[in-house]
Structure 1
Amino acid sequence: MSSFLCQDKEFEKNKKEILRRMVATNPNLEAININSDAGDRHISNNDNRKYAWEYEIEEYRKKKNRDRFYKIGALAGVLSLIITVIDKFTPIKEITHIAFNYIFK
């Protein structure tokens, strides 16, 4: 689970680097950013404005959570199948009886 958190932090840490590279490769973006920054100072309701990378981060997190949910569900299904198969071939009473006899010899 900590690896997922590290990947999310790494992804968010690199977003500024990605934006800087985009501006470096396309000077028109820099002019647009300067104009939008000047305009943003005068407009007070920019809290609702989202950039494309913010949507990408949200989708990335949703996908990771969904994948984690699927993995947990698949693991639970496989464990359930194993327990059911073991129960059909060897009843639990026999397993516990054998285990108690082995432990308390």
Structure 2
Amino acid sequence: MKIIILTVFACSALMAAAPKTFTGVITDAMCGKDHAMMNIKPDSKCVTDCVRAGSKYSLLDGSNVYELSDQKTPEKFAGQKVKVTGTLNGNIIQVQSITAAK
């Protein structure tokens, strides 16, 4: 019985760590889904300016904003729709790759 329980927990841990693909828009943690409060146009410039001011690149998937562990790659995708592959740990995606979405 103990072996079965340990096996179930081990499998659950491995499944939780499996990479997943998230689709959304590269934003920043401060503005999230609404860049209007900063009054900076376009959104890509707002994202870049906010990150330069200390905010973190994040992914907005429609309703959730996830911080990204990779803070270099998102720079070229600011304000654009992307696919992020990685593992979700709390509210942070441990990024494996970021590619443009169609």
> What TM-score comes out, normalization by structure 1 length?
0.24
Larger Rg: 1 or 2?
1
**Bigger relative CO (Cα 8 Å, ≥ 6 apart):** 2
* Larger fraction in strand: 2
